[in-house]
Chain A
Amino acid sequence: MTRYVAQRSIESLIVLAVMSVVVYGLIGLMPGDPIDLMINANPNLTPADAARLKALYGLDLPLYERYWNWLTAALGGDFGYSRLFSRPVLEVLPAYLGRTAILMGASFVLSVAIAIPTGIWAATRPYSRADYVINLLSFAGISVAPFWLALLLIMLFAVGLGWLPAGGMQTVGLDSLADKAAHLVLPVLALTLLSVAGVTRYVRAEMIGVLRQDYVRTARAKGVPERQVVWRHGLRNALIPVVTVLALDFGALFSGALITETVFAYPGMGKLIYDAILGNDFNMALIGLLFATLLTLVGNLLADLAYAKLDPRISYG
C-alpha cells in the first residue's frame, strides 16, 4: 500500500513537472512580455532602458534558461511577483484558494447529497415515469451552457425577484456573515445544478447494474428488507465507480467554478487564473494553473485510495 502511494505520488509529480514546462512554454507564447507592457505604459522608456530591464529580469535569456531560473526559484519558495496585485503571488493565492474551496466544497456536498438519493430513486424504478423525468432533467443538466445557466439564475433571482445579489462577494462597506452567505447562494446553486446531473446519471447507471447482480437476488431471496438491499448491498457496491468518477470530475468541477466565478464576479481561483491570463500576469497565471493541476492530481490519487478502502477485493500490493 505504502509502495503504491509512493509510486502514484511520483507519477503525479512527473505529470506536474511536465505541465510546468508546457505551461511555462505556452505562457512565453502569449502576446507581449512584462517589459513590453511597461513600455506601453510609460512612453519615456527608451529602447536602451527596455533592453536593460529585460536583462535585469532575465527576459533576454533563451526560454529553457528562463524556465530553469523560474524552477530553481520556485523550488526555493519564490514564485515571483504578481503584476496585477504588485505583491508576491504566494501572498495573494491563499485567500482566493479559500473562497474557491468554499464554493466548490458546498456545491460538491450538495450535488452528492441530491444525486445519490435521486439516482437510487430512478434506478429502483427503471423505465418508470419518474425515471424518465429524472433522465430528461439529467440530459438537460449536461447540455446547458454553464454561463447561460448562471445568467438565467441572475435574471430570475436577482433581477426578476430581487431576492439575492447578482454578483460579487459582499456588499461594499458591509461586513456581515449573512451578507456574504447571500452572495454565495447563486454561485453555489449554479455550480450544483451543473454537476448534479452528471453524478445522478452515473449513480443511476451503476445502481441498475448492481441491482441485477446475483448477490442482490440472493439477499432478496433470504428475505432481507428491500431498503437494506438497496442501501447496504446495492449502494455500497455502486459507490465504488461513482467515487472514481467524482474524483476524475474534479477538473470539470474546477472548470465549472471558473465560469461561475467569472459570471458572478466572485473572487476565487478560477477568476484569478482568467484575470491573470487576460491581464498578462504570467507569474500568477502559471502558479494558478499549476495549483489547479496539482489539486486535480491529488483528487485522482485520493480516488484510487478510496477505491481500495470501499472495495476490500482490491488491494494494492
Chain B
Amino acid sequence: MAELAAAAPRSLLGLTYRRFRRHRLAVASALLLLVLALAAIAAPLVAAALGVDAETVNLLGRFQAPSLAHPLGTDELGRDVLVRLLYGGRVSLIVGVAAALASAVIGTAVGLVAGYYGGRLDAILMRVTDSVITLPVLPLLIVLAALDLGKLGLPEALTQSQQISLYRIVAIIALVGWTRVARLVRGATLSMREREFVLAAQAQGASALRIMGVHILPNVVSPIIVSTTLSVGGIILFESILSFLGLGIQPPLPSWGNMLTGAQELIWDAPQLVVYPGLLIFATVIAFNFLGDGLQDALDPRAAR
C-alpha cells in the first residue's frame, strides 16, 4: 500500500520537470540564460554605477586596459566594453525571443489551417512552405535588410526611430523563419483532426476557429515549444551575422554582431575586443540549443534518442 501511495499521481508538469532535470546540460543552460538575462536587464544599473553609457565616444581613451572605471577596458572609439556587451545582450535576447515567438505564431496559424482544412488549401500552403524552405536564406535576408522602409510607405516617425533596426530584424527573420513550425503543426493537426474529441466538437456544431484554437492547439503545443526554443539560437546567429555585415542592428545601438563589424582591423590592435562578443554569442546560442534539447527529452519522451 505504501508503494502505491508513493506512486501517487503526479501532475503532467511535475513529470515533465523531473525528466527535464535529468538533462544536466539543459539545466545548466537554463541557469546560464537566466544569468545572462538578468545581466542584460541590469545594464542601465551597471552603466549608472560605473558612470558611463554605451554610446558616448571618447577618442582620447581608445583601447584602454581594464580598470576600475572600465572593467573590460574600452573599444576603438573609447566606449566602455562591459556596458556595451550588456546592452548588446539585451538586443540579442530580445531579437532572438521575439523573432522566435513571431515565427511560432505565423507557423502555428499556417500549420493549423493547412492541417485542419486539408485539400487544395493544404496543398497550396505546403507548396509555399517548401519553397520558402529551399530559398537561400542569408542572401534573401540581406536584401530584406537593405530595403528602404520609406518606400514601403511606413510613417517617417517609425522609420527614423532608433529602434527601427530592431523591429525590422525581428520582422524579416519571422518572415522566413515560420516554416519549420508550420510543417510540425500541420503534421500534428492532421492526426488530431481524426480524433474522437474533434468529431464530437464538430457534431456539437463548434466553429472551425474554435476547434482549431480550443481542441487542437493545446494538443500540439509541445512540439511548438521545443521547435521554438531550438530556433532561438539560430535566430541570434542570424541577427549577429546581419549586424556584423552592417545590415542588422544599426550603431550606435550596440549588438554583439555589430561590435564585430570591422573586427578584421581590431585583430591586430585589440584581439580581446574580437573575443568577448563572439564568446557571448556562442554561450547564448549553445545554451538555447541545449535547453531545446532538454525540453525535447522532457516533453516528448517517446522521440527516439
Contacts and interface: CB of A to CB of B under 8 A. Distances in A.
B196 interface: no
- For B148, B241, B304, the residue with the greatest tally of chain A CB atoms inside 10 Å of its CB is B241
Contact of A254 (B133, B136, B263): B136
A255 B246 CA distance: 16
A273 B139 contact: yes
Contacts of A28: 151
A255 B278 contact: no
B304 A209 contact: yes
A159 B278 CA distance: 18
Interface stretch (A143-151, A173-181, A236-244): A143-151
B142 interface: yes
Interface of B: 127, 131, 133-140, 142-144, 146-148, 151-152, 233, 237, 240-241, 244-246, 257, 260, 263-264, 267-268, 271, 274, 277-278, 281-282, 285-286, 289-290, 293, 304
B241 A259 contact: yes
Contacts of B148: 29-32
B131 A142 contact: no
B149 to A, nearest CB: 9
Interface in A127-179: 139-140, 142-148, 151-152, 154-155, 159, 166-167
Contacts of B134: 15, 248, 251, 293, 296-297, 300
Nearest to A126: B305
- For B138, B274, B282, the residue with the greatest tally of chain A CB atoms inside 10 Å of its CB is B138
Contacts, number: 131
B138 A255 contact: yes
Interface string A223-263: 00000000000000000000000001001101100110011
Nearest to A256: B138
Contacts of B143: 23, 26-27, 30, 277, 285, 289
Given A145-B241, A278-B146, A255 B282 contact: no
- For B134, B144, B282, the residue with the greatest tally of chain A CB atoms inside 10 Å of its CB is B134
A96 interface: no
Contact of B282 (A148, A151, A262, A292): A148
A292 B290 contact: no
A119 interface: no
Interface residues of A, number: 52
Given A146-B241, A251-B134, A151 B263 contact: yes
Contacts of B144: 26
A70 interface: no
Contacts of B240: 145, 147-148
Interface in A1-54: 11, 15, 18-19, 23, 26-32
B92 to A, nearest CB: 11
A187 interface: no
Contact of B147 (A30, A251, A263): A30
Contacts of B282: 140, 143-145, 148
Interface string A91-133: 0000000000000000000000000000000000000000000
A268 interface: no
A274 interface: yes
A152 B260 CA distance: 12
B289 to A, nearest CB: 5
Nearest to B132: A15
B260 A148 contact: yes
A145 B304 CA distance: 29
B286 A140 contact: yes
A273 B142 CA distance: 9
B281 A148 contact: yes
B138 A293 contact: no
Contacts of A27: 143
Nearest to A208: B304
Interface string A291-317: 011001100100000000000000000
A289 B139 contact: yes
A296 B286 contact: no
Contacts of B274: 148, 151-152, 155
